[in-house]
Amino acid sequence: MSEKINNLPQPQEWKASEVEIIKTKSDYLRGSLKESLADTITGAIAPDDTQLIKFHGSYQQTDRDLDDERKRQKLEPLYSFMIRARVPAGVATAQQWLAFDKLADTYGNETMKLTTRQAFQLHGIVKKNLQQTMKGINDSLLDSIAACGDVNRNVMSTSNEALSPVVGELASFAQSISDHLLPKTTAYHEIWLNKKLISEQGQDEEPIYGKTYLPRKFKIAIAVPPYNDTDVFANDIGLIAIVEKDELIGYNVAVGGGMGKTYGMPETYARLADVIGFVTKDKALDVVEEIVKIQRDFGNRENRKQARLKYTLDRIGSQQFVDLLQFRLGFDLEASKPYEFKSNGDVFGWKKAANGKWFLGLFIEHGRIQNTESLKLKDALKEVAALDVCDFRLTGNQGLVLGYVSARDKIKIQNILSRYSAGDAQQLSGLRKHAIACVALNTCTMAFAEAERYLPSLIEKLEVLLKENKLEQDDILIRMTGCPNGCGRPFLGEIGLVGRAMGKYNLYLGAGFSGDRINTLYKEMVSEEEILTLLAPLFEQYAQERSKGERFGDFVVRQGIVQAAQSVTSVK
């Protein structure tokens, strides 16, 4: 035993990156945010504060569509802010939905975005309205602290209780994880709510994170087989619920997932989490906390491109990581339990849960809640929320579940949605139902190309090819992002499109339909015309030569069109 202890990895000293220095000097995330907000000369905040405001759930952005014109007019960029709310397991009340609907109209761009991490995003908020918007979120009994930044982000969990009798228990655990790992700084209340709180210690401390928080963002998700609708292997920690006789007994623990990488830096990569063992549900929170602490102590604080847990895991070794975790816990993980995922998409339509309540899965294209000439979706959902007869459950696929509906109220909801022709996925192609796109242009500073604004029109053209081959009802996962940072989990798409330049994308193929295998680069820098030209013969070949029940991603791997990339592995 002593030999094993002596062989455990040891933390190393890092030359602190610029962001690490900003965090260290920030006085627990305060920085000069108050002064930045009070500065009326500019619509921006101070450079250091653009890092710190992320911890409070906001990003500074510009309208990139207008950047060139404003530069010609010698004006500063049109700055605005995105605010992301923390919604553990994606479960919100009807009143909270109405609150965000109103905030979007009053301070934002009149739309809401449902994210791939089951959170709300508001866009287009100018600096002078930031504080009022934050207060409005807090008044709804939600908040935005830790929705961004180098901390644990929004904790995901399967949200549709009709899929399993343990979903409600999983949502409660997601809330417990979120609360336990929430930063303890009182800066959020001081800056946004004008409340001076006194911590239990009399001064700010971060018992889990420490003064410099984590080296990078940290993501946790829970899923219950056979539904991997949270893409559990794409997270730093993935918890796979193990259910016996309709009772939750614990979780298989997966560590080291992450989708982001950087062009021109082969040392960065997408990675799926390794399954390292099983833990009973009474010890699961202890395991989660210790994994976070290991990342705090061992993560790279010099190079943010190498700072996620996946790089820590690969640097010290998976088995050594498990040994260290078990040493810190004081107990060993059990061998992982058998499980099987069959899909990672949403389930649409009405489903009845074991508790007798009804749950309605709705299709929301790329998570954008808005009114257009053809579809008044925002109005429809506002009218449903005003009934106050259901809750609103955001999914990991940018979808929505109206939950906990009585049989009596079911018809009221359906009548409203039918009147607006809103949310029905029955007439959609299998490709469109399973599409994910990040925000990208015009507001994301990292985007090289379009995603959300463009993918619907590309799908229209792809649907023509699918219909020619009688594949329009086949479920195929397509993901598009404006850059390789991975917000829309593009490397888990059977078809993945990652922006390289305006109108140009890298095309990836061959991910697993259940999220257990990442895809492989097929062609670089392709235009729309080239995308259609490349996929047309593949769809034809798939229609003619696939095996019974074979998924598109599996087919292109079996045929040698692309080589199989990393799949989920078990360490123990």
Q: List the domain boundaries for the chain.
A: 18-329, 349-420, 430-558
pLDDT at 198 over 90: no
Tokens coding 297: 């102590």
pLDDT at 572 over 90: no
User: Taking the alpha carbons of 174, 180, 184, 190 in that order, is the dihedral positive or negative?
Assistant: positive
Which of 451, 510, 458, 512 is CA-nearest to residue 484? Answer: 451
Cα gap 43→546, rounded to integer Å: 55
**Which active-site residues does the annotation give?**
84, 153, 217, 219, 438, 444, 483, 487
Q: Answer yes or no: are the C-beta atoms of 405 and 387 closer than 8 Å.
A: no
**Percentage of the chain exceeding pLDDT 90:** 96
Query: For 171-186, how does the pLDDT look when each residue is reduced to its tens digit (9 = 90+)?
Result: 999 999 999 999 999 9
Q: Work out the average pLDDT over 245-265.
A: 97
- pLDDT at site 7: 84
Cα gap 86→34, rounded to integer Å: 22
Confidence of residue 164 (pLDDT cuts 50, 70, 90): very high
The arrangement of secondary structure in 18-329, i.e. its CATH architecture, is 2-Layer Sandwich (3.30)
Confidence of residue 203 (pLDDT cuts 50, 70, 90): confident
Tokens coding 567: 């799949």
What CATH superfamily classification does 430-558 receive?
A: Sulfite Reductase Hemoprotein, domain 1 (3.30.413.10)
Query: For 286-318, how does the pLDDT look when each residue is reduced to its tens digit (9 = 90+)?
Result: 999 999 999 999 999 999 999 999 999 999 999
Q: Do domains 18-329 and 430-558 have the same CATH topology?
A: yes
Residues 6+ away with beta carbon under 8 Å from 228: 341, 343, 344, 514, 515, 516
Predicted model pTM: 0.97
Query: For 11-52, how does the pLDDT look when each residue is reduced to its tens digit (9 = 90+)?
Result: 999 999 999 999 999 999 999 999 999 999 999 999 999 999
Which of 326, 294, 327, 329 is CA-nearest to residue 313? Answer: 294
Residues 6+ away with beta carbon under 8 Å from 290: 325, 328, 329
Q: How many whole angstroms from its chain centre is CA 473?
A: 27
Residues 6+ away with beta carbon under 8 Å from 148: 54, 55, 56, 57, 58, 59, 84, 217
- pLDDT at site 196: 82
Which residues lie across from 435 on neighbouring strands?
478
Could you tell me the fold of the domain covering 349-420?
A: Sulfite Reductase Hemoprotein; domain 2 (3.90.480)
Write the secondary structure of 358-424 as one string of H (helix), E (strand) and C (coil): EEEEECCHHHEECECCCCEHHHHHHHHHHHCCCEEEECCCCCEEEEEECHHHHHHHHHHHHHHCCCC
- pLDDT at site 569: 85
